[in-house]
Structure 1
């Protein structure tokens, strides 16, 4: 009998927050399993970190204990209180037990808490709180959902926020999570693919390729970087994707008499490990003379010396350098003069309208003339019809690239 009692005691202790003696997060998770129709509320004490840092953690703990007592004074049948972590508390509201609406109840609790002074060793504290609410029957993981809602309430400075009123934002976050998982799965299962689009010499018709990244999802759908690149950056997976593409491209074109280009962002170039890995792949496959690195010029070149150093090292290996997307964004003729580049790729937003807009034609003509003075080759991007191709040839742009000439094809 004693053993059963001791075992039960241990179980109960695992469900209790030691400081406030309220049920803890584990107890809430357990209760949620048995609750199908309720409201789950999270409460965050605003700027509690400042109290800890200014008055010390001992004072902070005493405040939390007093706060727990204030919560428990709201003896409304069906309100179950919990202490989750740090300064986060929870209320599980059993819907059938409330005569008033949940909104009225929470507004009452909010007003009472924010007007109740907590006295700790002669210091008085008036706490401000944020509350977030979800209906448990609307979410598979209500605790995850309400934690998201609490962040929203603080971001919007909304004292009481019902997630059901912000479902579009929650669904967006869920889709982002699913996309990040797709990226991880693709990396693990070798489903980061390399496609190639031909770049054609306007005089000789000789072809080379720009390598392009694609992601194959679990259901076989092929995604372009437009759909996953930003998510990969926020999930710290982007540099892994770069390394995979470069390695695959180098080994695919090894021992082939074909030139190919690889896109690099400023983020790639800033990461020493990524550049080290890229150069190792180039040396292993002996493909330096085939490679042109396309630096995405739509990003600000905020560290000129770093870019110049990368270009010098790449060219010492035998690689060539192109500035991509020139003509929009952060385009800067001074950079081109100072950097030792071999190609300027004129942005597609200009090229696609070159046959219909005289002002754009003049801008492209100026870029091309400027490049020729510096003995830099030019590439017209987004050549999408015969009329544009004809105009590009008339302006004596060196290369053309676009769907009219070739749609990206799977390489490896």
Structure 2
């Protein structure tokens, strides 16, 4: 005992003075001499207990470890300090010709002391990390991870390891879920998740080995690694859960083709959802999808063989490795349930549906599958009473698909190669009767170079999901013919769907930047319905570009007004276009006049100027002036002009 006290007196002050000032501050050491004097009795008790009362020595060391953890002292610093002290003890013993067994004794003391210090760290670490995990990860698979971490606490409370093997782990079952596999395949993190999970269980085994030996310092370091792996795995799980809500049909096809299994793709496409959203608000549309998902889950429980996903295209997709399910029966039941549940609505709700069979031995490109899906969508809508079934093994037997594919590819080729025409029409100030700005329209050309009117192709563009390609083609065409627009302020139609596709969104940003550099003056015109549905996607773009926005066809969806207000609070809307179906009736219809007046008043109250389309004659224009509408667009002023 005396030798240890001599050692304390010799080295306490010098060792503490060597510590960085930041460490001394953490330990609240303001005066080194006073501190050494204050802790000497505690040091004496610790050494005394080591020789006379090991239980007390253990408790004192653990308590000290807890305090050091709370003060934020790293265990690496403590290990370094203990090793330095031990080295000084050895050097101190040899010159003083003290008993050699003191070296072995001091080494044993320091090892046990450090071991219990580490245990103190562990006892503070576990509840802190568990609480953080619980706050961070609250979804089902992540809760399983938190429960696994809780087992570690039980190890110290009950004295026995409770870890499960990787194959028995609930997380393993979750990773086998088909929906999980689809989402992690989309993110390309399946392999990383599996490796992290396997590594986690390897560290569990290491934990058990060191726990059996009561080696708390390596256990603490293992726990730090386990916590890091928990966090990493939890973050990846959260990414997967988020990705499940944002899966496209294209991504489903990519997954199916890589699986090389017999797989069924069953798709339900609810009708009239856009109309419902526009007239009754988006809550009713959400209810329809929730109802369909709920019924499908009851009829086809998701798991290892099935996944039910609401695709971003607005359809509900079932992927299944189980070929024994009677999808025709399920399709008819769903139709019956849907009509009954929403019979109170003024329109008849219904769904169309199709089923694609993917044999594992079939060798087919993703492009060919997507063409087949577009064909299936079209055919199922033609005959919504029956489930349209397409076996990809017999694809060559479907002559209609070849015809459809050729038509689709022709449309894509026209857009991609820039075989489009641009039309402009002036928007006139109703007070001055002078043109204020222009709207740019797109027109396609047929094989003879003749212009195809918009009404003949625009629905097909949306149906084939080519709107993003068309939007980009228009921007490129404007850049190619910039000299035609330098003396004009133009508004260009663009769909929010374009911003939902990452590659298209990036291309729009690039082209917009180029147009600004060229000195073109322009803004974007967006349809009201699409904006209200997808405005979160485009807010960031317009905040960064500060381009003016014109909202098209306002007036057909009053229930979406709150969404519209949310949108205008986040981005500057310059103009609001009043739906032409009301404008052309204002002379003869009191109801139409009231609607135009209301929309106009609402816009002005929000500091937004109004544009009335279909201003076709003097009577309509005079009425618009009386209602104090700001601008008019229509045949009264000028017809659309093809300029390129």
Could you say which TM-score interval applies, normalised by the shorter chain?
Answer: 0.5 to 0.7
In the alignment, the residues of structure 2 paired with residue 406 and residue 334 of structure 1 have an alpha-carbon distance, to the nearest angstrom, of 35
Partner of 2:429: 201
Structure 1: gaps of 5 or more residues: 1-46, 57-84, 89-144, 160-169
- What SS does structure 2 have at the residue aligned with 1:214? strand
- Assess, with a 3 A threshold, how the Cα gap between structure 1 residues 309 and 53 changes in structure 2: closer, same or farther: closer
Partner of 1:252: 481
Partner of 2:443: 214
Cα distance, 1:371 vs structure 2: 1.3
Cα distance, 1:330 vs structure 2: 6.3
Cα distance, 1:87 vs structure 2: 11
- Assess, with a 3 A threshold, how the Cα gap between structure 1 residues 220 and 248 changes in structure 2: closer, same or farther: closer
Cα distance, 1:298 vs structure 2: 2.8
Cα distance, 1:290 vs structure 2: 1.8
2:636 maps to 1:404: yes
Q: After superposition, where does 1:183-198 map in structure 2 within 5 Å?
A: 183-187=411-415, 189-198=417-426
- Assess, with a 3 A threshold, how the Cα gap between structure 1 residues 155 and 343 changes in structure 2: closer, same or farther: same
Aligned length: 269
User: CA contact under 8 A between 2:612 and 2:633: conserved in structure 1?
Assistant: yes
Cα distance, 1:335 vs structure 2: 3.4
Cα distance, 1:361 vs structure 2: 0.8
Partner of 1:280: 510
Partner of 1:386: 618
Q: After superposition, where does 1:273-312 map in structure 2 within 5 Å?
A: 273-286=503-516, 290-299=521-530, 301-312=532-543
Q: Which has the higher contact order (CA 8 A, sep 6+)?
A: 1
User: CA contact under 8 A between 1:211 and 1:262: conserved in structure 2?
Assistant: yes
Partner of 2:586: 354
In the alignment, the residues of structure 2 paired with residue 288 and residue 331 of structure 1 have an alpha-carbon distance, to the nearest angstrom, of 39
Which structure's residues are more often helix, by fraction? 2
Structure 2: gaps of 5 or more residues: 1-263, 267-304, 306-319, 325-357, 362-374, 390-398
In the alignment, the residues of structure 2 paired with residue 54 and residue 181 of structure 1 have an alpha-carbon distance, to the nearest angstrom, of 34
Q: After superposition, where does 1:83-162 map in structure 2 within 5 Å?
A: 86=359, 156=386
Q: TM-score, normalised by structure 2?
A: 0.37
My pick for the range that moved more, 215-224 or 246-255, is 246-255
2:495 maps to 1:265: yes
- Assess, with a 3 A threshold, how the Cα gap between structure 1 residues 276 and 352 changes in structure 2: closer, same or farther: same
What's the C-alpha RMSD, in Å, of the aligned pairs? 4.1
Cα distance, 1:376 vs structure 2: 0.7
In the alignment, the residues of structure 1 paired with residue 487 and residue 384 of structure 2 have an alpha-carbon distance, to the nearest angstrom, of 58
- Assess, with a 3 A threshold, how the Cα gap between structure 1 residues 86 and 386 changes in structure 2: closer, same or farther: same
Which structure's residues are more often strand, by fraction? 1
In the alignment, the residues of structure 2 paired with residue 196 and residue 274 of structure 1 have an alpha-carbon distance, to the nearest angstrom, of 24
1:327 corresponds, among 555, 559, 562, to 555
- Assess, with a 3 A threshold, how the Cα gap between structure 1 residues 364 and 150 changes in structure 2: closer, same or farther: closer
Partner of 1:228: 457
User: CA contact under 8 A between 1:211 and 1:249: conserved in structure 2?
Assistant: no
1:82-126 C-alpha deviation (Å, 9 max, x unpaired): xxx9599xxxxxxxxxxxxxxxxxxxxxxxxxxxxxxxxxxxxxx
